[in-house]
Structure formats: C-alpha cells, structure tokens
C-alpha cells in the first residue's frame, strides 16, 4: 500500500526557516517524480514544487522561487522541502504527492504556521 | 498562468439529486489535461478524474468528467451521503499547474 507521511511542520517566525520531510513507502520511490502542494487555511490548493525521479530536474511556483528548495534522497525513500525566508502568506498545510502531472496519492499534510 | 474559475462556489442539493460542477479556464487547457479532486474536512484531496474524463482507480461510475478547451464539467449522477464535500479542478497542461478555488457540495 502506498503511504506518504509528511513531518517537520510547526510554528516559525517570519524570516525563519523550516525543513519538511515526506517518507514514502509501498512503491518504488526512485521511479516517480514527486510534488509539494499547499493549502492555506480556508483556501484552495496551490502547486508549490516538483522534482524528477532522479532529482536532476526541479521546478517551482513563482511565489516560492528563490526561497524554497525541493530535494530527495532515493536511498532513504524521502522527499524534502527546505523553506527559507518564510512569510505569513506561506502559512498552509503542505502535502507531498506522488507524480508530476496529477496526483493519485497524497500524504496527510503537515501544517506550517508563520507568525510572530 | 492559467486561471481556473469554478462555479458555483456552493451547491446545495439533496441526496439522490444530480450535481453539475463547472471549471472554466482563462485559456485553453492543452490535451484536456484536467483533473478533479474531492476533499473532505481534515483530509487530503482524493483524485476522481484525470484527462478530463478518465475515472481514477476505485472511483464509482456516478462520477463523470467532460469538456475540453476552456470548459470542463464534473457530474455526480446521484448524490450519495459521502459525496458532500469540496471539489477542486486542476490543470496540468501549462506550467505552472493551477487549481480552481473549489466548489462545496452541501446538503440542502
């Protein structure tokens, strides 16, 4: 059974940093691109970033470009999102999802709150 | 980027009724690269439809998707109690992928 489990969320001050992790199991992790999607409280979904199966190619939403870095460790079946220079508008539940285009498998999400 | 506008914002219906949800794109979505998701409070989204009209694995056939270009529709033929939820559309034809703001289907 495919499982994606995010961790690393929490409360951080504006300008601070946080690293999210997503532990994958139940499938061959190194064969799939992986994506981060976020959802601000009471709002719609927003695509954040994608990384290729090998990790060689990445892409970011303009709203996070230059501040967030997506990475993966295929030996550990893990996906990461390093978030720097956090802003209040980054407050959201962050989901990892399997795939590049549309997403059949999602994690349960981890809440990031940016506030002083 | 492509802006997706979902309508109506809220749909109030009774179990057994037909639900028709709209997703309109600001420009043509290439190759009908459009997906629909269902989301319940406190849960992650669940993929219903991809490629505008292909049902995802395990999705009941009361859910159907249609449309092309800029106009897409999700139809739930007969609402079951578990279908009352928030529905999102997503385009993956033009980077960055974008989502609509959602349509809430609530019990009348």
User: What local confidence, expressed as pLDDT, does residue B31 receive?
Assistant: 83
Strand order through the sheet with A68-73: A3-7, A18-25, A78-83, A68-73
Mean pLDDT of A38-43: 95
Distance from CA of B8 to the nearest CA of A (A): 14
User: What local confidence, expressed as pLDDT, does residue B97 receive?
Assistant: 97
Check if A66 contacts B (Cβ < 8 Å). no
Would you call B101 and A43 a contact, using CB atoms and an 8 Å cutoff?
A: yes
CB A33 within 8 A of CB A51: yes
* Helices (H) then strands (E): counts for chain A: 0, 10
CA atoms of A85 and A64, how far apart (whole Å): 10
pLDDT (tens digit, 9 = 90+) per residue, B37-71? Answer: 999 999 999 999 999 999 999 999 999 999 999 99
Chain B residue with minimal CA distance to A111?
Answer: B42
User: What local confidence, expressed as pLDDT, does residue B39 receive?
Assistant: 98
CA atoms of A3 and A36, how far apart (whole Å): 15
CA atoms of A35 and B14, how far apart (whole Å): 36
Would you call B88 and A44 a contact, using CB atoms and an 8 Å cutoff?
A: yes
Distance from CA of A47 to the nearest CA of B (A): 6
- Mean pLDDT is lowest, of A71-80, A90-99, B29-38, for B29-38
Mean pLDDT of A81-98: 98
Mean pLDDT of B5-15: 97
DSSP string, A38-88: EE-TTS-EEEEEEE-SSSS-EEE-TTTTTTEEEEEETTTTEEEEEE-S--G
Percent of chain B with pLDDT over 70: 100
User: What local confidence, expressed as pLDDT, does residue B30 receive?
Assistant: 86
> Is residue B36 pLDDT above 90, yes or no?
yes
Nearest to B21 by CA among B85, B87, B78: B87
Mean pLDDT of A4-27: 98
User: What local confidence, expressed as pLDDT, does residue A94 receive?
Assistant: 98
Check if B44 contacts A (Cβ < 8 Å). yes
Mean pLDDT of A14-18: 98
Would you call B45 and A62 a contact, using CB atoms and an 8 Å cutoff?
A: no
CB A106 within 8 A of CB A5: no
Mean pLDDT of B17-29: 97
């Amino acid at each position: 059974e495919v499982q994606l489990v995010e961790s690393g969320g929490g409360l951080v001050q504006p300008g601070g940093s946080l690293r999210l992790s997503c532990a994958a199991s139940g499938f061959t992790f190194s064969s799939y691109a992986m994506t981060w999607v976020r959802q601000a409280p009471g709002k719609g979904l927003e695509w954040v970033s994608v990384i290729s199966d090998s990790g060689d190619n990445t892409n970011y939403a303009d709203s996070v470009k230059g501040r967030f870095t997506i990475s993966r460790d295929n030996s550990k079946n893990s996906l990461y999102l390093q978030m720097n220079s956090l802003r209040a508008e980054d407050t959201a539940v962050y989901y990892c999802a399997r795939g590049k285009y549309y997403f059949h498998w999602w994690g349960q999400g981890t809440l990031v709150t940016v506030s002083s | 980027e492509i802006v997706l506008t979902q309508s109506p914002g809220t749909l109030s219906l009774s179990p057994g009724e037909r639900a028709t949800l709209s997703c309109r794109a600001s420009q043509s979505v290439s190759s009908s690269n459009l997906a629909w998701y269902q989301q319940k409070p406190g849960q992650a989204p669940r993929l219903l439809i991809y490629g505008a009209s292909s049902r995802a694995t395990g999705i009941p056939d009361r859910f159907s998707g249609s449309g092309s270009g800029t106009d897409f529709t999700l139809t739930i033929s007969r609402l079951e109690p578990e279908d009352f939820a928030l529905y999102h559309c997503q385009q993956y034809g033009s980077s960055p992928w974008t989502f609509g703001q959602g349509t809430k289907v609530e019990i009348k």
